[in-house]
Amino acid sequence: MTTQSIAGPFQPGHNHKACVRDAMNIAEQLCQSKDLRLTKIRKRVLELVWAGHEPATAYQLLKKLRAEKENAEPPTVYRALDFLVEHNLVHRIESLNAFIGCDHPESEHVSQFLICSHCNQVAELDDSVTINHAVSEEAKRLGFKVSNQTVEIMGLCAACQ
Amino acid sequence: MTTQSIAGPFQPGHNHKACVRDAMNIAEQLCQSKDLRLTKIRKRVLELVWAGHEPATAYQLLKKLRAEKENAEPPTVYRALDFLVEHNLVHRIESLNAFIGCDHPESEHVSQFLICSHCNQVAELDDSVTINHAVSEEAKRLGFKVSNQTVEIMGLCAACQ
DNA sequence: AAAAATTTTGTTATATTATAACATAATAAT
DNA sequence: ATTATTATGTTATAATATAACAAAATTTTT
């Protein structure tokens, strides 16, 4: 397993094949260790999500899935996504109604996303310090108990500026 | 114009009538000063959004609007919302596909939202420091140029814990 | 004030995103 | 093997959002 993909897609040397392979390996391991059923459908949907770093909508995934499984219907994809999201294998991008793969589902984490509005790629930040801390502080100050965050940052990645 | 509503809905003494009246006054002023047309429909939709601090969906607003304007259709509401969002009179909550009023549309600002999952009320944070700064720093570190942020924090407000 | 240009609203249709509900099949537990 | 549980198949529909073109209202220009 390589570690080339760790920092996400906004990298000159991004090796996507290795990136996907790693992600799938990690998913298999995680499901095995947690006794989760990564069924054929779920696995295939995960692979389709990982086709790129541009978030995929449910219906884009459905279209691809149908190419190889003619009886696929919306629930087929949504159920798979429900499973994948629940177990952090995939994250939902709220502002896009779309989904991207997570390359570190095994570690509990709070996600932030950088969304490039030019190339449409999304990178997940693994910032358990700066942003996360700021959010907690602000919330605490107001007596608000945080359970969950959506942090989605739109703009231009380095390559697209 | 009172200032009682400044800190949002998670306050014991929240005076909602004053809160709405202030918001509508500010909206009128803003549109006047910027030469924007706060038409009858737009104004009414804004009032309906301000009916509460629970974000309203477009179709909830449509339903209410129809009670008094039978020929209202989805575009009627969506267009009004487009206008209101464009001019910061209303913010869209991405994770809820819903809309809430903004009480300080005149000041350019980046918004963060606290969403109480029990009472469903939403408060807008006016944090141009902590969270905002953290986001900028993280982005800068990665050479990412921020144009826009979605920060939506789910949890329990003080009253609901 | 009339004409032209622009903006807003009316209206119909449809696209996109997502879930409900119930049947069948596959897998796991007893 | 039987039972229970989980996953998938299938049909229908709910919920969210926009396209496209016509008519009306408003603003600008003449």
A125 CB within 8 Å of a chain B CB: yes
B41 CB within 8 Å of a chain A CB: no
A95 is in which domain, residue-wise? Answer: 16-160
E strands along A21-161, which residues?
A: 90-93, 98-101, 112-116, 122-125, 145-156
A71-91 pLDDT per residue, tens: 999 999 999 999 999 999 999
Which nucleotides in chain D lie closer than 7 A to a protein CB? Answer: 6-13, 15-20, 26-27
Residue A37 CA to C30 C1' — how many Å? 21
Q: Tell me how close the Cα of B29 comes to any Cα of chain A, in angstroms.
A: 30
Q: What is the pLDDT at residue B127?
A: 76
Chosen from A93, A151, A161 to mutate, greatest number of chain B CBs within 10 A: A151
Residue B2: pLDDT over 70: no
CB A81 within 8 A of CB A45: yes
d(CA B152, CA A106): 24
Q: What is the pLDDT at residue B12?
A: 79
CB A29 within 8 A of CB A108: no
Tell me whether residue A1 is in a domain. Answer: no
Tell me whether residue A88 is in a domain. Answer: yes
Tell me whether residue A116 is in a domain. Answer: yes
B110 CB within 8 Å of a chain A CB: no
Nucleotide nearest to B94 (CA to C1'): D16
Q: What is the pLDDT at residue B7?
A: 56
- DSSP assigned state of A18: H
Answer whether any strand C atom is within 7 A of the Cβ of B42: yes
Q: What is the pLDDT at residue B39?
A: 98
Tell me whether residue A34 is in a domain. Answer: yes
Q: What is the pLDDT at residue A7?
A: 56
A119-130 pLDDT per residue, tens: 999 999 977 788
Tell me whether residue A9 is in a domain. Answer: no
CATH number at residue B39: 1.10.10.10
Extract the residue ranges of chain A whose pLDDT is less than 70: 1-7
Answer whether any strand C atom is within 7 A of the Cβ of B33: no
d(CA A121, CA A103): 15
Angle CA A144–A147–A148, to nearest 5: 115
Q: State chain A's mean pLDDT as an integer.
A: 93
B99-154 pLDDT per residue, tens: 999 999 999 999 999 999 999 999 999 777 889 899 999 899 999 999 999 999 99
Contacts of A11 in chain B (CB under 8 A): none
Mean pLDDT of B82-100: 98
Residue A111 CA to D30 C1' — how many Å? 60
Residue B3: pLDDT over 50: no
Contacts of A94 in chain B (CB under 8 A): 94-95, 150, 152
Q: What is the pLDDT at residue A1?
A: 46
Answer whether any strand D atom is within 7 A of the Cβ of B74: yes
Residue B26 CA to C6 C1' — how many Å? 27
Tell me whether residue B8 is in a domain. Answer: no
d(CA B150, CA B131): 11
Tell me whether residue A100 is in a domain. Answer: yes
Count of structural domains within chain B: 1
d(CA B113, CA B122): 6
pLDDT-derived band at B10, boundaries 50, 70, 90: confident
Residue B26 CA to C2 C1' — how many Å? 37
Tell me whether residue A27 is in a domain. Answer: yes
Output phi, psi for A112, to 5 deg: -130, 150
Mean pLDDT of B90-94: 98
